[in-house]
């Protein structure tokens, strides 16, 4: 299959691929005595993207992608960036219809589903529900989403979407779900995962996103917590010097209040350089101790 699907999509043997897809569709619902093998052993992710795109809409594409990339994962493929890439492939196979993707994954035997992959897809339900004006359901999903680092990123995305749409009532409700992530055994989400797209479809930087929220929402401990839980992590260490300034503006007590907030974060989830910058700002006001 690796050779079959590694070439130019235009030259794929589509009839044979369709036979494989049909077999995958039938086998995905069958219980088995052992887990499937890691599909990344046989299919490179970039090549998989080619054939998924070439076969978009074909019966069995989602089932095959789920089997290959949503089940067993070898240790060398289990780092978070790779899991996110695999999630993107499964989503592409499902034509980015997250409810369809979720149902497809749920047809797999429970022991086959990779827990982190399932959570990554579950997080995609939040913007999907918001797009359908089902904000209450989106907030309910956020309330129970795990792990905490993923929940923090999903919450920031939800608040951003709601503010961008002018839905300040639900944006403030979402802020009430903010909390300090305490499961520092799970790494912060990569900076690329936290990328955001404005309402006009154009990508926005982290600085633009923070400035949007700080300018359009009242300063609060909750807003500061949402921003720190994403932009205050080591994953965003290279994002720029704007972080200390914008995060300080987000807290109603300024640098001193933000410094106290940072004191509650596990060391593994907080960028030490950010804390040092906030300490200097608080010291300049005579509030650091």
Prior bond of 18 cis (ω within 30°) = no
Residues 214-269 have pLDDT tens digits of 999 999 999 999 999 999 999 898 877 899 999 999 999 999 999 999 999 988 88
The partner residues of 203 in beta bridges, in order of sequence, read 197
Q: Is position 19 within any domain?
A: yes
Helix or strand holding residue 7 (H, E): none
Classify residue 32 by burial, with Cβ atoms within 10 Å: 0-12, 13-18, 19+. exposed
Nearest to 216 by CA among 256, 172, 181, 177: 172
Q: Which structural domain, as residue segments, surrounds residue 102?
A: 1-113
Q: Is position 95 within any domain?
A: yes
Q: Is residue 188 within 8 Å of 234, Cβ to Cβ?
A: yes
Q: Is the pLDDT of residue 108 over 60?
A: yes
The pLDDT mean for the chain works out to 84
Tally the C-alpha atoms within 13 A of residue 147's C-alpha that lie toward its C-beta: 15
- pLDDT level of residue 46 (50, 70, 90 thresholds): confident
Helix or strand holding residue 197 (H, E): strand 196-197
Mean pLDDT of 195-214: 84
Q: Is position 70 within any domain?
A: yes
Contact partners, residue 225, CB within 8 Å, separation at least 6? 178, 179, 180, 261
Higher pLDDT, 42 or 219: 219
At residue 188's C-alpha, the angle toward residues 155 and 182, to 5°, is: 75
Q: Is position 182 within any domain?
A: no
Contact partners, residue 258, CB within 8 Å, separation at least 6? 224, 228, 247, 248, 250, 251, 278, 282
| pLDDT recorded at residue 287 | 66
Residues 42-60 as b or e (16 or more Cβ within 10 Å = b) = ebebebbbbbbebbeebeb
Residues 258-289 as b or e (16 or more Cβ within 10 Å = b) = bbebbeebeeebbbeebbebbbebbeeeebee
| pLDDT recorded at residue 107 | 85
Nearest to 156 by CA among 142, 136, 167: 142
- pLDDT level of residue 109 (50, 70, 90 thresholds): confident
| Whole-number Å distance between alpha carbons of 127 and 123 | 8
Percent of the chain at pLDDT above 70?
85
Q: Is position 251 within any domain?
A: no
Q: Is position 29 within any domain?
A: yes
Q: Which residue has the tokens 């219980």?
A: 31
Higher pLDDT, 60 or 207: 207
The pTM of the whole model exceeds 0.85: no
Provide the number of structural domains found in the chain: 1
Q: Is position 239 within any domain?
A: no
Q: Is position 6 within any domain?
A: yes
| Whole-number Å distance between alpha carbons of 10 and 189 | 35
């Amino acid at each position: 299959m690796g050779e079959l699907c590694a070439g130019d999509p235009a030259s794929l043997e589509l009839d044979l691929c369709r036979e494989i897809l049909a077999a995958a569709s039938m086998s995905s619902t069958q219980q088995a005595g052992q887990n499937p093998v890691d599909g990344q052993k046989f299919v490179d992710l970039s090549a998989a993207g080619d054939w998924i795109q070439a076969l978009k809409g074909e019966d069995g594409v989602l089932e095959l992608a789920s089997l290959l990339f949503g089940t067993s994962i070898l240790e060398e493929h289990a780092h978070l960036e790779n899991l996110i890439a695999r999630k993107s492939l499964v989503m592409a196979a499902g034509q980015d219809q997250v409810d369809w993707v979720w149902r497809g994954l749920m047809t797999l035997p429970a022991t086959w589903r990779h827990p982190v992959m399932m959570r990554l897809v579950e997080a995609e339900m939040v913007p999907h529900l918001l797009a359908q004006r089902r904000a209450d359901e989106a907030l309910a999903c956020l309330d129970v989403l795990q792990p905490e680092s993923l929940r923090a990123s999903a919450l920031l995305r939800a608040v951003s979407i709601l503010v961008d749409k002018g839905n300040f009532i639900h944006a403030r409700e979402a802020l009430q779900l903010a909390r300090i992530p305490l499961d520092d055994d799970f790494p912060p989400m990569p900076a690329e995962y936290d990328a955001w797209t404005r309402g006009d479809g154009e990508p926005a930087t982290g600085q633009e996103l923070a400035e949007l929220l700080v300018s359009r929402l009242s300063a609060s401990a909750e807003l500061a917590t949402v921003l720190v839980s994403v932009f205050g992590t080591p994953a965003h260490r290279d994002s720029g010097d704007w972080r200390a300034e914008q995060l300080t503006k987000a807290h109603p007590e300024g640098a001193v209040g933000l410094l106290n907030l940072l004191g509650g974060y596990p060391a593994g989830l907080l960028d030490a350089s950010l804390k040092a910058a906030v300490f200097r700002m608080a010291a300049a006001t005579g509030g650091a101790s």
